[in-house]
Amino acid sequence: MTQRKPTVRGMSFIEMIVALFILTIGMAGFSMLYINSWNSNKFIIETGNAASIASRGVSRTVAELRKVRQADNGDYPIESGDDFDIKVYIDIDGDGATERVHYYLQGTSLYEGVSEPIPGLPVTYPVGDDTVKVLANSIINSSTDPVFSYYNNDYPSDTVNNPLATPVNVADVRMIKIRLMVNIDPNRAPNFINVESFVQLRNLTNY
């Protein structure tokens, strides 16, 4: 008796088309998932880097502002103070001379400008900044979100008159708050990362 060979049935053309369609949909879904995951991770990493740079910029500014002192021409340690701009006198490089240091927000970047004193009788300072460097990028502070806020000697017991109105009477300032709102893409969540710190102006206790 002859044994019958099993019948091997191949896929029909329609079945092959359906299988390819399902495979294509699966691959497309996986590709979209991978791309979205990559973009999300890239955004998180870039946001973290921007926040880290801003944090270092704020820490640097705080450390420098603690050392404000009288200018070499006798001017008061704080020249001027506004919501997005402050000029102070600091021996920023430890050379014994007192530089004028200018912190300001321009566009979406926080800058530090430094001017060296010009020897003479009296000592003078240039009109503009001698050197400028970027301290932080991707800053989105608006007109209602100042970078610099100023407080007098009565803070925190007096919250009615603090923070001080700007431009400040520089003689009243004893503490400054620095606040940076960091966002590399305002069109994407999260809205921003808040980086802030207070600095006590130690050398002003004698004024």
Q: What is the pLDDT along the chain (207 residues), one digit of tens a residue?
A: 555 555 555 556 666 676 666 766 766 655 566 555 555 566 566 677 778 888 899 999 999 999 999 999 999 999 999 999 999 999 999 999 999 999 999 999 999 999 999 998 889 999 899 999 999 999 999 999 999 999 999 999 999 999 999 999 999 999 999 999 998 777 765 678 889 999 999 888 666
Q: Detail the DSSP E strand segments found in 116-157.
A: 131-136, 148-151
The size of the chain, in residues, is 207
> Alpha-carbon distance 176 to 89, whole Å?
15
Residue 89, class by beta-carbon neighbours within 10 Å (0-12 exposed, 13-18 middle, 19+ buried)?
A: buried
- Cis peptide leading into residue 146 (ω within 30°): no
- Whose tokens are 């944090």? That residue is 55
The reported pLDDT for the residue numbered 9 is: 56
The answer to whether the CB of 101 falls within 8 A of the CB of 108 is no
